Amino acid sequence: MPASDKILEALDPIVQKVLTDTGALLTGHFALTSGKHSALYFQAMRLLQHPGYGGMAAAAAAAHFEGLRVDATFVPAVGGIPWGYALASRFPDCRAIFAERVEGKMTLRRSFEIAPGEKILLAEDVTTTGGSVMELKALAEEAGADVIGLATVLDRSGGRFKPGVDHFAWARLDIEAWEPDDCPLCREGIPIDKPGSRGLSR
């Protein structure tokens, strides 16, 4: 049985079917945005290209945070953008904003602003170490906003990532990842794929 099939067995049957139908969980040798390597990669865009599936995950996240005021969803570009937009559509009068990495630092651009006292829901398509999300959390808090939680499509840390706020994940998997120097796939000489968006030019 392929490694991805064994991983999927631990999921809710509906989530399992969506990931299977969309082919969003890939097997190979991947360099993650975090810098670590893995044999499995969650390609969120394969799921989020389908508004129905993205809406299903967003509805579950909105139900988790039901009753809370959300002034804006705040995501890292570019992979989180459609997820943040889908989430924002589930809350009244909610904006969908994102930060972009400029010279290595997450930065608000495109006239996006965060006002003191605003209620911010962080969002990310997939979390491993949570580095990008924690940069966004710091940005929002520096602006005087109140970060009320984090909504993730897939948390691949198996729950080990702790953002310090209420963390909803539509799917949680414990997917092994290695530092490059410890990667068994590198030692086997298996070609590596870098499917993330960290290296995109502005």
Structural domains of the chain ordered from first start: 3-187 (3.40.50.2020)
Residue 81 has a pLDDT of: 94
Residue 177 has a pLDDT of: 84
Contact 46, 54 (CB under 8 A): no
Number of H helices and E strands in the chain, helices first, is 7, 8
Tokens of 37: 């390597």
Residue 196 has a pLDDT of: 62
| Nearest alpha carbon to residue 80 among 23, 20, 33 | 33
Residue 159 has a pLDDT of: 82
Residue 150 has a pLDDT of: 98
**What string of pLDDT tens digits covers the 202 residues of the chain?**
345 556 666 677 888 889 889 988 888 899 987 788 988 888 889 999 999 999 999 999 999 999 999 999 999 988 899 999 999 999 999 999 999 999 889 999 999 999 999 999 999 999 988 999 999 999 999 999 999 999 999 998 888 899 999 999 999 888 888 999 999 999 999 999 887 654 544 4
pTM of full prediction above 0.85: no
Residue 16 has a pLDDT of: 86
Residue 8 has a pLDDT of: 66
Helix (H) or strand (E) holding 13: helix 13-22
Peptide bond into 78 cis (omega under 30): yes
